Structure 1
């Protein structure tokens, strides 16, 4: 299985699609479908019936998943690719543009 380099909490820039050039924080990652949910990006309108949690029901705006190939990690405000290398006995992510270790 391929390694997913974008993680929850990362700041990313959208590089393709209707929200191109927008930036946001990753809320959720779906590794099975290779999709991410980014805060304030790819907004969709959902119609919900009244329920116990939402008594009024109505129209709700929420973020929809976007393919992970359409986002790029932001390091120090600039988009960069991410690589993985061994640091001692543990794997760490690093920004390919600068070589800095991310986590």
Structure 2
């Protein structure tokens, strides 16, 4: 299984593409594909047939997956986009560390 620098629930900023500069929360992380789905980013229109959830069918707007390399995690402490490092905390668990402010999360 591949590793990714982002997890579900992370607040991220988009680095490239048509939505460059937008911020959002990671809704789904797909490590096997190296892609993430970010709330409010990469909106596409999709035609759907009528089904149990959507009785009428029609065209819906939804978020498309974007490459994980095109997003950067926003540090919860300093609020800035930064790279993530890894460290071992007191309990022996691996935690992520902000490279700008040094906060562990």
TM-score band (shorter)? over 0.9
List runs of 5+ in structure 1 lacking aligned partners.
none
Where structure 2 has 5 or more consecutive residues not aligned to the other structure, the ranges are: none
Runs of 4+ in 1 over 4 A off after TM superposition: none
Alignment match, 1:63: 63
How many residues align structurally?
102
**CA distance in 2 between partners of 1:3 and 1:91 (Å):** 14
Once the two structures are superposed, the pairs formed by residues 1-103 of structure 1 within 5 Å of their partners are: 2-75=2-75, 76-88=78-90, 89-102=92-105
Larger strand proportion, structure 1 or 2?
1
Q: Distance in 2 between matches of 1:2 and 1:31?
A: 5
TM value normalised by structure 1 = 0.93
